[in-house]
Chains A and B, each alone.
Chain A
Amino acid sequence: MSVLRVERLRKSFGGVQAVRDVSFAVEAGEMLALIGPNGAGKSTCFNMLNGQLRPDAGHIDIAGRDTAGLPPRAVWRLGVGRTFQITATFASMSVRENVQLALLSQHREVWRLWRPAAARHAAAAEALLAQVGLAAQAGRAAAVLAYGDLKRLELAIALANAPRLLLMDEPTAGMAPTERVAQMRLVRDLASARGLAVLFTEHDMDVVFGLADRILVMNRGALIAEGNGEAIRAHPEVRAVYLGTGATSGGH
C-alpha cells in the first residue's frame, strides 16, 4: 500500500488554477522529487497535503486514511513531518528546545503545567540534532542560526515524530551546493533505512537527478511528466518548459 496517494487534487485562488487534477503516489522508502518552475503549484500541493489548505476537489490518502479536511495538527499525528519553503521555527527558544517541543507534542505532554520542560526528552533531541549535524548548536538561540542551519533544524523537528512521510518544500535553499547533496543524502539514507516516504521539491538538479527515485514535473498547476531521471531528461514537454523551446513555453 502506498504511504501517500493523491487523486485529482485541485485548488484555485480566485481565477488562478494553482493545482489542477494532480494524481500521484509515494511508496515507503521512496524519494519522490516534485519539480517545476516557480509558480507551478508545488507549495500549494504541499499545503494541501499537510492540511494547511483545503483542496477544492480530489482525495488525499495517507496510510490508508482520507485526510481531506483534517487540520495540520491531525495530519501530523498520522505521521507526516513537514519542512517549509520559508523556514518556520520558534525564535524565542534554543535549537534544542525547538526539537524538544516537537517531542513533547509527540508524547502528548504539552498540557503539563508543573515539571520544567528543560529536562524532558533532552537526550532524544540531542540525538536528532546530531543526526542533522547541529549538535554543536544545540544551546544557541534558533533566531541566530544561519539559513542553511535553520533548514537542518526544520528537518530535525520534522523527524521528531518518527514520521512515515516527510514533506520537504525546498529543503536545501540557502545552502552551499556540497551541503545540499549532504543534507539530501542524509534524507536518502533515512528513507532507505526506515522505509520513510519522502516527497520534496528542489531547484538543484544535481540533487534531484542524483538522489530521487522518481521525478514528477509540474507546470502551471498540472503534472506534465513522471518517471526516472532518464525519462524526464528525454521528455519533450519538460524540455520545452525548462529550455524554452516548443509551443508550451512559459516557465523559466
Chain B
Amino acid sequence: MLITALNGLAAAATLFLLASGLTVIFGATRIVNFAHGSLYMLGAYLGWSILARLPHTPWGFALGAVATMAALALFGALLEIGLLRRIYRAPELFQLLATFGVVLMVQDVVQHLWGPAELSLPRPPWLRGFVLLGGARYPRFDLIVIAVFPVLLGALWLGFTRTRWGVLVRAATQDRDMLAALGVDQRLLFTSVFALGAALAGLAGILALPDGSADLTMDLSAVTDAFVVVVVGGLGSLSGAALASLLLGMLQSFGVLWLPRASLVLAFAAMAMVLALRPNGLLGRPLAGRGVGEVVAFIRPAPRALRLAGWFALGAAACAPLILGPYALSVLMEMLIAMLFAASLHLMMGPGGMPSFGHAAWFGIGAYAAALAVHALAAPLPLALPAAVLLAAFAAAAFGWFVVRLSGVYLAMLTLAFAQICWAIAFQWGDVTGGDNGILGVWPGLGVRGFYWLVLALCAGGTLLLRRVLAAPFGHALRASRDSSLRAEAIGLDTGRLRLAAFTLAGAAAGLAGGLYAFAEGSVFPTYISLQRSVDALLMVLLGGVQTISGPILGAFAYTGLYDTLLSLTDYWRFVLGAMIIVLVLAFPQGLAGVRLPGAAR
C-alpha cells in the first residue's frame, strides 16, 4: 500500500515536471506545444551523453542535470525565436502542426546522432540504493524524484508570485493585449517562459534515465501523458496541473495493481469524467473565444469546370484496371482510401469546426473491426465492412458525446489522447489484436480488379455523399453552428446534436476507409492508429485548404503522391516532412487551395 502510494507520487512528480512546462507555456503564449515530448526526449538523450562524461556520483548526476536543463533552455529559446514567435497569431491547428513538424525533425536528428537502440545508464551503487520503509525496500532515487515535486511546485509558486518576471507572466496569461498596451516587451517574456518549460521537460527526461532508458518512442508517449494532465487540470493552470498529476499518478500506480491491462483506459475514463463535470478541467477557466487569426471563408458551390474535371477523373479511375498493372492499382487504391479518410476529417474540422488530432482512431477501429470480423468470426467482406463502419460510428458517437461541446484546443488534445490510447490497446492487447505483429491474412476474396472497383465505388461514393451532405440543409446547419453557435441556437438549431451527428458521420466514413485499407493491405497493424496517420490526414486537408470543400480530395492525392516519393528518396523522410510542414505553415497559413484562389472557396 505504502509502496504503491510512493510509486504513484513518483509518477506524479514526472507528470508534473512535464505538464507544468506545457501548461505555463500555454498560459503565456496560448501555444499547445506538441514538441514538448521531444524536449523531454532530447533531455534524456543529451543527459545520457553528459552523464557518461561525468563522475558517477550524486554530485556528478546533479551537475549533469543542471547542464542538461541549461542546454534544453537554450534549445527552447532558439525554438521560440526561430519558429513559435512567428505563429502566435496563426490558427490553433497550424500551431499544433508546426510543433508536430518539430517532433518529426527531432526524431530523425536523435536517431541520427544516438542511433535506434535504447540507451540506459550504468547504475553506480548510489543509484541502486534502497531505504527501508515499513518493512519494504524502496529505491532511494525514487524518493529523490518524489522530493522534486513539492520543491518544484514551491519554486514555481514563488517565482510566479514573488518576482517581477512572474507577475508579468501571470499578467500575460490573463490579458496579453493589455500587457502589450502597457508597453511590456512580450518577446523576451515568452522566450524565457519557453526556455523554462523546455528546461523542466529536460529535467524530466534526465530523471527518467536511472529507472528506465532513453528511446525513440518516449516523445509521443510523454506528450500524450502531459496533454491528459493539462486537460484534466485545466489549460494554463499550474495548480491544476499539480492536482491532476497527483490524481493521474495515483490512478496509474493503483490502477496497475487492480487492473493491470487497463491503466491507460483508467486514465482516459478519469479524464472523460472530469471533463463531463468540468469542461475546462479541474481548475481551468474558460478560454476566451476561438483561436485568433481564424478566417472563415465564404463557401460557394464548385465551379462547373471543377465538377467536370472531377467526373472526368472518376471516369478515368473506373477505366484504370483495364490499363494499369496490380502495383499501380494498389497505389491508386491507397489514394482513394486516403481521399475518403481526408474527406471525413474535413467534415469534422472544416464545416464542423472540430479540429481532430486523432482521426486515425476511427480509421484504426474500422480496420481492426474488419480484420477481427474476418479472423475471429470468419465473416466475409460484405459483413466485415459494415461491421467496420458501425463500430467506428459507435465509438465516435460515444467519444463525441463527451467532447463535441469543448473548445478547439481541448478537442484537439483529447482526440489525440484517445487515438493514442486506441493505439496502446492495439499494441498491448496481444491476445486479440496480435500486438505488434498485427493480424495477417485479411483478404477480400475478390480479384485485384474487382476489389479495386469496390474500393473506387465505396471511396468515391462515400466522398460524394459527404459533399452532398455538406450542401444539404444539415451541412448548412452544421456550418452555422461553427460560424456562430449563439445565432444558430437562437434560430432553433441544436448545435450540440448537429456536431455529434457530424462527428459520428465522420467516424463512420473514416471507419469505412480503415476497413477497406485492411482488406487492401491484407493485414492490420497498430501503426494504422498511429499519430503519424492522424497527421497525414490533417496534412491532406490542410494542403487542400480547410476552407474549401474540394480541398481534401486534391490534398489526399497530392499528399499521398508526395509521401510515397519522399519515402523512396530518403531515409530521413521524417526530417524532410517535418521541415516541409513548418515551411508550409509559415508560408501558407490558409492551405494551398486557399492560396491559389483567394476569397472564393469551393
Contacts and interface: CB of A to CB of B under 8 A. Distances in A.
Contacts of A71: 489
A143 B484 CA distance: 12
A115 to B, nearest CB: 6
A237 interface: no
Nearest to A80: B490
B487 A117 contact: no
A134 interface: no
A147 interface: no
A231 interface: no
A1 interface: no
A2 B210 CA distance: 77
A112 B483 contact: no
A116 B472 contact: yes
Contacts of A117: 471-473, 475-476
A161 B299 contact: no
Contacts of B482: 92
Given A105-B492, A114-B468, A90 B487 contact: yes
B594 to A, nearest CB: 13
Contact of A113 (B472, B484, B486): B472
Contacts of B488: 90
Nearest to B299: A92
B473 A72 contact: no
- Could you say which interface size class chain A belongs to? 35 or more
B296 interface: yes
Contact of B473 (A90, A104, A157, A160): A104
Interface residues of B, number: 31
Given A90-B480, A161-B491, A109 B486 contact: no
A110 B487 contact: no
Interface in B25-70: none
B474 A105 contact: no
Give the interface SS of chain B, mostly helix, strand, loop or mixed: helix
Contacts of A93: 298-299, 476, 479-480, 483
A88 B468 CA distance: 27
Contacts of A91: 296, 298, 483-484
Contacts of A141: 298
A120 interface: yes
A8 interface: no
A73 to B, nearest CB: 5
Contacts of B494: 73
Interface string A103-128: 01110011111111110100000000
Contacts of B274: none
A70 B488 CA distance: 16
Interface stretch (A57-65, A94-102, A173-181, A205-213): A94-102
Given A114-B468, A157-B491, A88 B473 contact: no
B484 A72 contact: no
A143 B480 CA distance: 13
A113 B468 contact: yes
B148 interface: no
A90 B298 CA distance: 10
Interface in B468-512: 468-469, 471-477, 479-480, 482-484, 486-494, 498, 501
Nearest to B484: A88
A118 to B, nearest CB: 7
A76 B493 CA distance: 10
B479 A76 contact: no
B88 to A, nearest CB: 23
A105 B489 contact: no
B486 A84 contact: yes
Given A91-B296, A92-B298, A143-B298, A102 B491 contact: yes
A162 to B, nearest CB: 13
Contacts of B469: 113-114
Nearest to B350: A92
Contact of B471 (A52, A89, A118): A118
A157 B487 CA distance: 10
B547 to A, nearest CB: 8
A188 B301 CA distance: 38
A101 B491 CA distance: 8
A109 B483 contact: no
Contact of A110 (B296, B473, B483, B547): B473
B296 A76 contact: no
Contacts of A52: 486, 489-490
A164 interface: no
Given A73-B493, A89-B484, A112 B474 contact: yes
Given A112-B472, A117-B473, 4 more contacts: A90-B480, A110-B474, A111-B473, A157-B491
Interface of A: 50, 52, 71-73, 76-77, 82, 84, 88-94, 97, 100-102, 104-106, 109-118, 120, 141, 143-144, 157, 160-161
15 contacts: A73-B490, A73-B493, A76-B492, A84-B486, A84-B490, A88-B487, A88-B490, A90-B484, A91-B296, A92-B299, A92-B479, A94-B298, A101-B476, A104-B476, A143-B296
> 6 shortest A-B CB distances, which residue pairs?
A141-B298, A88-B487, A110-B477, A90-B483, A105-B492, A91-B296
